[in-house]
Chains A and B, each alone.
Chain A
Amino acid sequence: MNVQFLNPFIEAAFAVLDAEVGVTAKRGQLSLQRSAATASEVTVLISMVGQVKGVVLYGLSEATALQIVAKILGQSFAEFDDLAQSGISEMGNVITGQAGQRLAEAGFESNISPPTMIVGKGTLISTLDFERLQVPLETELGTIQIHLALRESINGTVSHPLPIGGA
């Protein structure tokens, strides 16, 4: 796991949480894991392919997830329904998209998959032989765990390369 892949995700998450949710995040203790990840109550899974390949997970409690979507939409949520799931998936999608843009600027072009939502705590998510970097982001709404199981792929190609510098 190339540690240089970490900062783009941290920066993207900070930017999205600030812009979309209006909260400031603080980075917690980084750890390198070789065992399977244990799913949080809510986990968003997004794959990356290209010059960076692997899996990104965003794990959070249902209470935190509900507070985040409530803040974005300006309405309260009684349960983690389809709309709330859609909101958290979208947040993961936007963070990963922004991180992908930052990685492209550093010379690692990649594409991301549509998000997959895992609801329910305790499922083991194995990234097999990919080491996993785990970093908690602390916010006033609760903790978001980011797991990066990513690897550089020299021969990786992307169908729609990310333009450096944007439009």
Chain B
Amino acid sequence: MYKIMIVDDAQFMRVRLSKLLTGHGYEVVEAENGEQAVQTYRSIKPDAVLMDVTMPEKDGLEALAEIRGYDNQAKVVMLTALGQESMVLQAVQAGAKDYVVKPFDPDRVLRALQKALG
């Protein structure tokens, strides 16, 4: 069973994504901000990461850089609100595998994860 780390400062988004992924057979761990994401990645080593771009205490771009610095094979999919694409393009250039725009289509999230997991 693949282990996925969901990183979003909005509790509602974490719960919603967690429901979606556990319903499709994934194991889920959650982090509330970029700092927690980096620490959790190091201790849990998830198979893939689904991470929001805009967060307090280290945003998604900074956390991505640190996670990729620790593990250059890290499979990270970014989550973003419409209108933040310029930041997401930076994330893709920094090694993110894909991105999903909110409000997200559940199938799009699952496809992005499957693609990232290879």
* Chain A residues close to B by CB (< 8 Å): 16, 19-20, 69, 72-74, 82-84, 86-87, 89-90, 93-94, 97-98, 100-101, 104, 112, 114, 160-163, 166-167
Contact = CB atoms under 8 A, between A and B. Distances in A.
Given A73-B19, A97-B84, A87 B103 contact: no
A100 B83 CA distance: 7
Nearest to B16: A73
B102 A86 contact: no
B83 A104 contact: yes
B12 interface: yes
Q: Is the interface on chain B under 10, 10 to 19, 20 to 34, or 35 or more residues?
A: 20 to 34
B87 interface: yes
Nearest to B53: A160
A162 B87 CA distance: 9
A97 B81 contact: yes
Given A74-B19, A97-B81, A90 B86 contact: no
List of 5 A-B pairs having minimum Cβ-Cβ separation, nearest first: A97-B81, A86-B12, A87-B12, A167-B85, A101-B83
Contacts of A20: 103
B11 A86 contact: yes
Determine chain A's interface SS by DSSP, over half rule: helix
B20 to A, nearest CB: 10
Contact of B88 (A69, A83, A167): A167
Given A74-B19, A167-B88, A167-B89, A98 B12 contact: no
A36 B85 CA distance: 35
Nearest to A87: B12
A86 B16 CA distance: 11
Interface string B1-40: 0000000001111011001000000000000000000000
A60 to B, nearest CB: 16
A75 B15 CA distance: 11
A51 to B, nearest CB: 13
A86 B84 CA distance: 20
Given A19-B103, A72-B16, A73-B19, A98 B83 contact: yes
